[in-house]
Every structure is written in C-alpha cells, then in structure tokens.
C-alpha cells in the first residue's frame, strides 16, 4: 500500500499541489454484542481506502475514496487539488505548516495471538460467559450488556516532503453493563477494558473478574441514598479524575480550539492556572497505551506533551497547521479516525501526574465530604471553561471514613477554579480506555490519574 500512497502523492504534485499527504488503509473489524441471554449481532467487515490532503497557495483540499483502483485514486487526488485551488481564491488566512522532520519507518503492534486466528464462535462464547457472569452474580441483576470488539490492519502515510510510515495495528476491547433492580429502584454500572495487541491481552485484563465486580457494584448501589447538594470537599477516583483531565483540561489545550478563541486557556501560556499539586500531560508514547502511537497522522514523531506543570500552563496540543500559527514545532497531535477523515488536533493518553499522598491521608481530615467514582458521561464547554460529570458511584465521607453510598451524584464547576482547588494528589495511578468524539470523528484515547482531592467542589443531583 505504500506504493499506492506514494504514487498518489506524485499525482497530486503533477496536478499542481504545493504539498500533499496521503493515508492508505486496509482494516478488519469484528463486533459482537449480547443483551441479557441473546446475541444481538455479530458483525465482521473489511474497510479499505485512501484519503488525500493537498495544499495550494495556503488552502487545503481533501478527498477520499473507498477504492484502491488507480482510476478512483486519481479522481480523488484531482478532486483534492481542485478543492484547494478553488478555496485558495477566497481564503483570507493562509495555511503555513510548521517545519517537520521526515521519517521512513515501519511500526508494528506486538501480537501473540492474532484476532483473525481465533474462531468467531470462541469469541461469541467469550461474550456469553461475560454476560452469564454478571447475571449469575445476584438475582437482582435484571439486565446485562456485553460487547466484544477487535480491529486490525495496516495504515500507511506518505507525504510530498518524503515521509513514509507503515503502521500495522491491532487492538481488542470488551465492554459490559449490569443493571440491578429492587422494588422500584434501578441502578447500573459499566466498564470498558482494552489494549493494543491480540487476543492474548485478555489474560492480563481478566474481564470475567471485572464483569463480576461490575455486577456487585450495581447491586451495592441499590442501598444508595439521595445525594446532598452544595459545596463539599470531594475526592475523585482515578477514573473520574482522568475524565476531568481529558474533558475539562485536554480539550481546552487542543491548539485548534485555542487559535479560534474556543478555549478558556487562550493567552494563558506560562500563567499559574492551577495549584502546585497539579501536573497534567498528554503522552502518546506510553507503552501499550490505548491512545498511543509512534507517529501522528501527519507523520510527525510523537512525544509527551506537558500541558500543565505544577500549576503552570506549559503547552498546547498541536498539529503542523496550528503549530505554524503559534510559531512553534508540531508536537504530534494530528489524528484522524480513518482514511475517510481529514486529520485534526486530538489527544492521546491524558493524565494527571502522581504525587506523594495516600488515599487514607487525603481522607483523614475530611469531616464531611463526597467520594466519587467512575463516570456516566457529562458535558464540557472548553470556551467557557465549565463542566459537569455524572459519577457512576458516590459515597459520603464522614470523619475521615467512606460510608453511605449515594445515588445520582454529579460534579460540576469552572475548570480554572477547580484546578486551583485541587489540594492533594495521591501516589496511586490507574488508566481507563475510551473513545473521544470531535467533529464527527471518534478515536481511541486513554485517561489516567491518581485519586485527587478538590476543596469547595459543587455537588448536585445526577444527570441521569
């Protein structure tokens, strides 16, 4: 496929493009979903195609095709160049790409048991076992969902500057939901596990143990009491704290939001925006990270981005276009869902760095507070710097102890105020896998954090 991508680049230059980059892709996927005791679907498929982006007189053109036939590729290239030329007449602000070193490399995800070598019947039985594990935990588990997913294949990137990258990718994931009911009270808990690699990763992830745990947490929530509202000292577990880092901070640090005035962090570079306890980074180089990659979609070598260091805003996430406008080098933040989408600025693995506290130390001086765990989703506005997250679980903190479970707890507030109110960060750490949506594109991302303590946080009724 690299030859196909290189030929498309040459064709774009012949049509008059000043710069071109091409991604050619062939990927295989299987998804299995089970609801209660029946299989809802088993879907397998192959997706292939090519996406080309061209630059002419400071204007972009993009086109894609699901065919790798030469005539269809030539038509896509021609469309991309024509679009760039037409746009260049009207565009006021010309694109200036930051300089980037060129690379020629082959990257391969280590795989011991390729997903294609495992029979679909075995995968279906695996999903059935996960569902049975949840349903058999307790009679009060009334509904379950178990989902298996895999994706593997190859993506190549070629640019007119000479970059040639070949990526062989493979990842697997499972997700489950348990719903418990007693009288008229209904509760639920969910979880997703995943990793780059092959079918062997489940030996380490132990999904059946996690399925049993999820069922137990859903049943335990049947004892939950209505949540109080007001301002409390809150301790957030690694999952919810990681989501805060990703949603409230990471999106505000995406350079495209910054240059268009859609980030509360615009013009705050070098300023103290959080407490000294707060260090947040985005790192695509974490080994086996769910959102990791060696090169971004533009072929730029990935590196760790230190977004906030000891409370000081240090860096935005950039692609080559944004970096050009900011007068810096790209830090490898360009990503696209597939060949069919243009690259945009995205996160990878966004985490709050560990500190030196223990959870027990963070609890001991709280007379009345709230402990929040996990997330059911939420809302965030990077431009206004506001957020609201609904916790999966929550508990009262009374005299330094975690006590009564609470139902439908939400955490909301102002991002900058919350960053300054984080007064303790633990030495533990955990990462969770997810998918981040932006501009109709979804890419795998990781969220990580220790436990964190937030003073004077706004707690209220859940978002449902």
- HEC string of 69-130? CHHHHHHHHHHHHHHHHHHHHHCCCCCCCCCCCCCEEEEECCCCCCHHHCCHHHHHHHHHHH
The per-residue pLDDT for range 438-462, each reduced to its tens digit, is 999 999 999 999 999 999 999 986 4
Q: Count how many Cα atoms sit within 13 Å of the Cα of residue 375 in the half-sphere of its side chain.
A: 24
pLDDT on residue 461: 61
pLDDT on residue 377: 86
- HEC string of 444-458? EEEEEECCEEEEEEE
Q: Could you give the domains of the chain?
A: 2-223 (3.30.2290.10), 225-461 (no CATH)
pLDDT on residue 462: 44
- d(CA 238, CA 158) in angstroms, rounded, equals 38
The per-residue pLDDT for range 341-350, each reduced to its tens digit, is 999 999 999 9
- d(CA 147, CA 129) in angstroms, rounded, equals 11
Q: Which of 164, 185, 235, 256 is nearest to 391 (CA)?
A: 235
| Neighbour-count burial of 181, counting CB atoms closer than 10 A to its CB (0-12 exposed, 13-18 middle, 19+ buried) | middle
Q: Which of 288, 346, 361, 262 is nearest to 112 (CA)?
A: 288
State the pairing for strand pair 334-335/164-182.
Answer: unpaired
Extract the tokens encoding 383.
């431009």
Phi-psi region of 49 (alpha: psi -120 to 50; beta: other; left: phi over 0): left
The stretches in the chain having pLDDT less than 50 are: 462-464
Q: Which of 150, 171, 149, 153 is nearest to 49 (CA)?
A: 153
What whole-number percentage of the chain has pLDDT above 70?
99
pTM over 0.85: yes
């Amino acid at each position: 496929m690299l030859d196909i991508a290189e030929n498309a680049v040459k064709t774009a230059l012949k049509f008059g493009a000043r710069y071109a980059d091409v991604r050619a892709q062939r990927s295989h996927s299987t998804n299995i979903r089970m609801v209660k005791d029946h299989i809802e679907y088993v879907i397998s498929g192959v997706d292939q195609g090519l996406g080309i982006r061209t630059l002419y007189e400071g204007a972009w053109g993009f086109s894609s095709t699901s065919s790798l036939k030469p005539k269809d590729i030539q038509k896509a290239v021609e469309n991309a160049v024509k679009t760039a030329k037409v746009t260049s007449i009207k565009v006021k602000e010309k694109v200036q790409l930051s300089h980037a070193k060129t690379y020629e490399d082959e990257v391969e995800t280590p795989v011991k048991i390729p997903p294609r070598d495992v029979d679909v019947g075995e995968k279906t039985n695996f999903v059935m076992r996960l569902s049975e594990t949840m349903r058999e935990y307790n009679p009060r588990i009334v509904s379950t969902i178990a989902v298996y997913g895999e994706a593997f294949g190859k993506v190549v990137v070629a640019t007119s500057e000479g970059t040639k990258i070949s990526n062989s990718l493979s990842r697997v994931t499972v997700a489950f939901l348990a719903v418990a009911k007693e009288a008229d009270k209904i509760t639920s808990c969910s979880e997703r596990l995943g990793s780059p690699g092959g079918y062997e990763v489940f030996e380490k992830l132990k999904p059946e143990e996690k399925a049993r745990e999820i069922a137990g947490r859903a049943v335990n929530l049947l004892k939950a009491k209505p949540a109080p509202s007001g301002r409390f000292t809150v301790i957030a577990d690694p999952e919810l704290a990681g989501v805060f880092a990703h949603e409230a901070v990471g999106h505000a640090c995406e350079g495209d939001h910054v240059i268009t005035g859609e980030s509360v962090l615009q013009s705050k570079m070098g300023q103290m925006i959080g407490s000294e306890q707060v260090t947040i980074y985005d790192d695509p180089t974490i080994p086996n990270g769910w959102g990791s990659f060696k090169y971004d979609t533009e072929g730029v070598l990935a590196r760790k981005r230190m977004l906030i260091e000891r409370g000081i805003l240090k860096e935005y996430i950039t692609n080559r276009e944004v970096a050009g406008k900011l007068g810096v080098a790209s830090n490898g933040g360009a990503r696209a869902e597939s060949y069919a989408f243009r690259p945009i600025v995205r996160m990878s693995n966004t985490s709050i760095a560990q500190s030196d506290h223990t959870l027990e130390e963070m609890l001991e001086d709280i007379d009345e507070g709230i402990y929040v765990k996990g997330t059911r989703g939420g809302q965030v506005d990077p431009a206004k710097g506001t957020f609201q997250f609904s916790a999966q679980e929550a508990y009262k903190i009374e005299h330094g102890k975690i006590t009564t479970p609470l139902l439908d707890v939400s955490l909301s507030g102002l991002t900058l105020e919350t960053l300054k109110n984080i007064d303790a960060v633990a030495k533990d750490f955990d990462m969770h896998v997810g998918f981040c949506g932006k501009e109709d594109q979804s890419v795998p991302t990781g969220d990580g954090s220790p436990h964190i303590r937030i003073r004077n946080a706004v707690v209220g009724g859940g978002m449902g």
